[in-house]
Structure 1
């Protein structure tokens, strides 16, 4: 949003497909408010709310906002000044209470809890949390609006480490910079958990994209980087700052518990340097292939339940945050303009110096799919996974996928083989297939046991190669029906019996239909049995993927939720790879949260 008054802002607003994303967001919020504004104006006129004569305390509109901890103090300062100056919305004073709360915590609450929250506005540090909060659409509805600030993601180093890598003259890509840091005996590299930090996730995604451009075995290089970061991982951005060496002294630099480099936002480095002295200040590398931005999207929460005054006041405060006075407050705290531009007054105190390319255009924002894949890779790389993959081999898997000259089974196999590339040699994966009367009276058959992908197999190959060949050999069973319930229970019990401590244990079930075995356990009995045998000390979530339009996501989700897992739907089997990684990431996070 530009820095203009509300009427000027929306005059001449377009709605074509060519509108930039941030402008379209403003249109989205404005559209939701149009009817409320039309009705509210009449009500306000009748009730005298457009008059400026009323006392603020008597007529104030109260809003509550959850804001990312890094930007919360600045937003609170703007809100306090607005209250002091008696800034008004439709004649009523604007009182905004700002509470600092980690973005990932708010996102997880909004995505999983349909209850109306006690706040109307949310200001996370990145769009990615908005996407996570939207989830499957079952949580609290949210409406993202304009960004109010930005800050590039960088790699920060204490001076001695920065000099060892040629700072400020030497410029690196993301892949080159992390590789150089990993090879140097003078640099210990730390990061915030990408599952909880937008900075960590955007940086790791950028490293992956940069590594892919280098060619070769980029997945292995990224996994190695993730492994190294995991060894020196902190819960969040504030915690990762606490791991830095406090000075350039030999004793401090030699302390193995201290990092010399961390993935960090420019604003976090600005705030750190404002309090640090001497060798404790940070120098910033800005990768030459572009730095992604934290973009602080202003987001309405369950807007339909807000009354007209609250809706108008929320929009008024968003406008206020983009006005020059508020932007000056943000700049003094180290934030850049929405478009990513910044002057020396922000860059230099943060640790940026020419010829580091801090003024170049920000990197294109990674896609939701790229972020999801990175999160999945992070989860399985950090914890290592032990998965039993259970694939529907019923006759309906021979159905041709619309728009493709391939069967549902063929596309599924290709997607599974592609997904296999995301796993490390230390991950353990096995394979079952299922269809009615596939193996005598049983609806399921074990094809490949779950062992390490890097372990040797007969014939000089590895388990990974053996499993890929088994995926490729899967075929629909002519006349076979979907024996789902007995298979789910058997696979779950087997995974429990072979549970490996210290790994992410799960059962991934792919099915294109509902249970068709009339002699099997009933759904209610299956759910009851899963509840009975579930063991919090040995969690094994069922990750059930409904493949195709005939599959019932609600059915498999009801069953899987009992185990701490969930149900997912893909219309095109080619999406299976992405959904598997999403399911692993989501269940892995839930498991981690439960253990805390």
Structure 2
């Protein structure tokens, strides 16, 4: 369906006898749509003009399509007096989708292709969200190959785990990730823990599929029933993303970067970045093991071959579609050239090239993909599924939020009003509920995220309304006998409410503090939580505070003041003005029992 993610259920016969097909010489003369297509003649081909078909494809497909283009060109094809050639360019699906959404007007995009062959229909779905893209992508595409997303594991580890008989699911990946004693308990202490790798889902088909399936498994819902709201408003989906992201020893910028790390890692070397399991397109497992395609371009290393697990809770065949853009389909000559090259891809030499780079035929059956190659020829597949663009976009956005490494100063209101009881909380105070939420939020910060902690009321240190409890720095940094994470937890446990609410002076001081401790390339933010309104008669006025924040805020070095209004007595109008002056949001938590959910939303929001 338009704007949806399509998966293909395997069916039909296997692709046996491909080698025999490839042996048939390509000497074809055909009249199609009024254009004479000649390939390979007995004598030299004469033509007065040349035409080039530009094909843009994903890195995992580039070698196969280049080989097919070379086979096609060896026949010296001509179309209506034009000598024909095919140029294959390589670009990630996410980047091409972005260019398409803008109508390919970005000056850095290079020449617009005639044909786009992404490694998943997800990228076509994400592209077809604007009118300019839909004008370019009028073709629904022809499926030329398929490749499921699998869970890859170094083969020695996989064999100890029980491969190929034992299965591994997306739920297992989330459950086992981070188990530091896993291999030691199985007689292989040198291998360390069960470490997970993840390619960035904003650029990797495998990363995007893995996150969707992991969230679906955590929510106990079919992946096709995931909705945008589950990611934008639901705590469970964000929790599943956080678990997988935080348990990942490596979040790689691309599939290639992940495989580079895998090949470099000696399993017996305790100093190496050894990964136990990671999502990967099956074709890349094949290319890595056979050292073809991307696998041939990787640096040498001591990493062993890989084995593929086909998750029982979701193994889907990604369709690889040959999609002709309108600029080619509107040109009769280009359109015929595009059809002619498609015939090569779906015939002997094209199928040999695709199969030789780990791509299954459209029916999904590849009997040559045996355990010797680390694969399974006929794995169990799930039925066809669809995810629309809003869900894919929300998934990628939520991941960006949980993956960001922030530079954050948490500022907690500890005034006397925080001692009031919260209805429906079994007699607990506002402060008690808020501190429990804060303690639950501390694990949201990765070890390389920066966090500092202040409290505020009035006159905590002389005339100063705020007090530093933990200095700003990396969560994993040692402070005395423990890490900053442990010190923050201990400081939270010691907080007691007293005094009035010195909101305005504290907000300005926190903003200026973070400007002085700005870290480039990270979201620099104050997260300020309060249950009331400014009640310090000697403080700066609200209008003056807002003027100063606007004047000192720098778009080149942005520091945002994110405010959380806690309870029905909060001055949300004032908080909104404070946050807006720094380009940030105010998050109301009118029901104090929802404070943790609001904290998660605030901490995982990607700054605009």
1:69-468 mapped onto 2 (5 Å cutoff): 69-87=59-77, 92-108=82-98, 114-115=105-106, 117-121=109-113, 122-130=116-124, 142-143=136-137, 145-146=140-141, 147-180=143-176, 182=179, 183-185=182-184, 186=188, 189-194=195-200, 195-213=202-220, 220=239, 222-230=241-249, 232-244=250-262, 252-263=267-278, 264-275=280-291, 280-299=304-323, 303=326, 308-309=331-332, 312-313=335-336, 315-316=338-339, 319-320=342-343, 323-325=346-348, 326-338=350-362, 341-353=364-376, 358-361=379-382, 364-366=385-387, 367-369=391-393, 371-372=395-396, 374-380=398-404, 383-384=405-406, 386=408
* Pair 370,502 (structure 1): closer, same or farther in 2 beyond 3 Å: closer
**TM (normalized to structure 2)?**
0.55
How big is the shift at 1:107? 4.3
Cα offset, 1:97, TM superposition = 0.4
Please give the alpha-carbon distance, in whole angstroms, between the structure 2 residues aligned to 1:159 and 1:90: 53
Name the CA shift for 1:252/1:259 in 2 (closer, same or farther; >3 Å): closer
Aligned to 1:150, what secondary structure does the other structure show?
strand
Q: CA deviation at 1:269?
A: 1.1
Aligned equivalents of 1:237, 1:159: Cα separation in 2: 18
- Offset at residue 132 of structure 1 (A): 5.0
SS at structure 1 position matched to 2:167: coil
Deviation for aligned residue 1:286 = 1.0
State whether residues 155 and 285 of structure 1, in contact with CA within 8 Å, keep that contact through their aligned partners in structure 2.
yes
Native 8 Å contact 2:126 2:393 kept in 1: no
CA deviation map 1:393-432 (0-9, x unaligned):
xxxxxxxxxxxxxxxxxxxxxxxxxxx99955988799xx
- Answer 1 or 2: higher relative contact order, Cα 8 Å, separation at least 6: 2
Seen in structure 2, the aligned counterparts of structure 1 residues 238 and 176 have a Cα distance that, compared at 3 Å, is same
Q: State the Cα RMSD in Å.
A: 6.2
Match for residue 22 of structure 2?
none
Max radius of gyration: which structure? 2
1:225–1:21 distance in 2 versus 1, CA, 3 Å: closer
Deviation per CA, 1:468-516: give whole Å up to 9, x if none: xxxxxxxxxxxxxxxxxxxx999987863564678532589xxxxxxxx
2:35, 2:79 within 8 Å by CA — same for their partners in 1? no
Q: 1:192 to 1:171 in 2, by over 3 A?
A: closer
Which 10-residue stretch deviates more, 312-321 or 257-266?
A: 312-321
Structure 1: which 5+ runs fail to align? 1-16, 24-48, 390-419, 431-445, 467-487, 509-517, 544-558, 561-565, 569-575, 588-596
Q: How far off its partner does 1:74 sit? A: 0.9
Shift of 1:99: 1.9
CA contact (8 A) 1:199 1:294 kept: no
Q: Which has the higher helix share?
A: 1
Separation of aligned partners in 1, 2:526 and 2:344: 47
- Indicate if the aligned counterparts of 1:201 and 1:374 stay in contact, CA closer than 8 A: no
Contact 2:206 2:281 in 1 (8 A): yes
**1:520–1:319 distance in 2 versus 1, CA, 3 Å:** farther
Quickly say closer, same or farther: Cα 1:233–1:118, change in 2 above 3 A.
Answer: closer
**Cα displacement (A) at 1:528:** 11
2: distance between equivalents of 1:254 and 1:110?
Answer: 45
How many residue pairs align between the two structures?
450
Q: How far apart are the structure 1 equivalents of 2:133 and 2:510?
A: 30
Tell me by how many angstroms 1:270 deviates. 0.8
Distance 1:581 1:139 in 2: 33
- 2:154, 2:304 within 8 Å by CA — same for their partners in 1? yes
SS for the counterpart of 2:247 is helix
Deviation at 1:189, TM superposition (A): 3.3
Partner SS for 1:239: helix
Q: Is the 8 A contact 1:151 1:267 kept in 2?
A: yes
Deviations 1:130-165 (A, max 9, x none): 455567778896417424322111122223211222
In the TM superposition, what is the alpha-carbon distance from 1:115 to its structure 2 partner? Answer: 3.6
Offset at residue 75 of structure 1 (A)? 0.8
> Post-superposition shift, 1:359?
3.4
Q: Is the 8 A contact 2:316 2:383 kept in 1?
A: yes
Deviation, structure 1 residue 174 = 1.0
**Structure 1 residues 528 and 498: alpha-carbon distance in aligned structure 2, compared to 1, 3 A threshold:** closer
Distance in 2 separating the partners of 1:196 and 1:98: 20
Shift of 1:266: 1.0
- In structure 2, runs of 5+ residues without a counterpart are 8-32, 39-44, 222-234, 296-300, 412-440, 454-465, 476-484, 498-506, 528-542, 563-580, 586-597
Partner of 2:524: 505
